[in-house]
Amino acid sequence: MKLKVILFMMLLLPLFSMTTNSAVTREPKDVVITTVDNVIARVNAERDLLEAQPEKIYEVVNELIIPNFDFLNMSKWVLGRYWGNASEEQRNVFADEFKTLLVRTYAKALLGFSDEKINYLETKTGSKPNIVLVKTEIKSNASPKSTPVNYTMHISGGDWKVVNVAFEGISLVDIYRKSFASEIRNNGLASLIQKLTDKNERLERSLAR
């Protein structure tokens, strides 16, 4: 159950960045509610199709998630000091593979969504006016305990975008940063990129089965 909730909340990470093209963005909490409701409705409406052809979930992800994901800033934060030492080609390849990793993971999580309910709590302003923390909690019929999940959002190009998520106080960016830093220290950035590429291929094959 916990793994399922983690994957589902990772799925929601990029969804909260969708806004109108107006210069005035919607409130972060309103963006969260509207976008998540739309995604869940889409998945429920196409449940039979997705069960028969699970690879179709990529269309949902690409349409509703990819255009609104701040991959550049997340890639910078995840690589930390290694971003500055990377070549432009390595940065581009890493950002692309990291994006693909999240897409593959989110796609599998989205297919497994069923009875979870999201409660939307308070929104707190961060140390800078363009950064906010949107607090939520997840409840499931399988457990009486709620799971807190907090999203760090910022404004980029007039749109709210999520740049980090904390599950029960554990930062997604921090988890990836520590894992990736260990691989880079031991084997180099090229090795990390290759391992990401290999993992993405495995995830794609597993979804197509």
73-108 pLDDT, tens digit per residue, is 889 999 999 999 999 999 999 999 998 888 787 777
As a whole-number percent, the residues of the chain with pLDDT over 70 amount to 84
Q: What is the pTM of this model?
A: 0.76
Lowest mean pLDDT among 44-48, 112-116, 184-188: 112-116
The CATH class of the 2-208 domain is alpha beta
pLDDT at 64 over 90: no
Residue 38: what are its φ and ψ, rounded to 5°? -65, -40
> Which pLDDT belongs to residue 22?
44
Query: What are the structural domain ranges in the chain?
Result: 2-208
> Which pLDDT belongs to residue 208?
67
Tell which wins on pLDDT, 11 or 161: 161
| Neighbouring residues of 161: CB distance < 8 A, sequence distance ≥ 6 | 14, 16, 17, 68, 69, 70, 73, 153, 154, 155
Q: Is the dihedral of CA 50, 53, 57, 59 positive or negative?
A: negative
Rounded CA gap, 95 and 89, in Å? 10
Quick check: 61 and 103 in contact, CB under 8 A? yes
Amino acid at position 120, single letter:
Y
